[in-house]
Amino acid sequence: TLVEDCQSSPPTGLQGAFRALYEQYKDRVYNVCYRITGNATDALDASQETFGIMFRKIGEFRFESKFSSWVYRIAVNASIDLRRRNRAHQFASLDALQSARGPGFHSRVDPTDERVEMPVHAASRHELEREIQRAISRLSPKLRAITVLRYVEALSYEQIADTLQISIGTVKSRLARAHDMLDRELTPVLDRYYL
């Protein structure tokens, strides 16, 4: 009904049904954009572009697929287009990752609190996350999109096929190629962390 409400009234800013759709999808769109672009700045740009396209073209949505698939398709395409335009690969620093946790995050911790992850462990985990993100960013745009939709967004093969408008067989073959490439990239990294 939110989509129908948006289609029946032209956008006058981020209000009403448009605001509700934005709130519903903003985190998922950002997450997809971040995993495909590889950094927060580009992810914000791609997210903004995604919502701009979504609100300009919402009247063209014909309910022939899930609305979420349509939104993901726009986010994937916006992210890939942005990466093509901007070849600079940047990765978030540990400071940026900590500042992304938001206001009120305190860097001082009580070392006796067992619920708190110690800095050396946090640094190792963040470094491993960065290595994984780097490996994903080295995949081709098509393989990166498949990987993000499957493992970050947890979409089924059918949902991915619908989102990217490809066959399930193509989804499976691209995932297999992505697995092979990521395995080659990450095996030495994982050996370093776990051996």
**Segment-wise mean pLDDT, segments of 10 residues, the chain, 195 residues:** 80 73 92 89 93 89 88 93 68 43 46 47 65 86 91 90 93 94 82 61
Position of tokens 């990466």? 83
pLDDT, position 99: 47
Phi-psi region of 177 (alpha: psi -120 to 50; beta: other; left: phi over 0): alpha
How far is Cα 75 from Cα 47, in angstroms, rounded to an integer? 7
pLDDT, position 169: 96
pLDDT, position 14: 61
Nearest in space to 183 (alpha carbons), one of 142, 126, 127, 132: 132
In 54-127, at which residue ranges do the beta strands (DSSP E only) sit?
none
CB of 175 closer than 8 Å to CB of 124: no
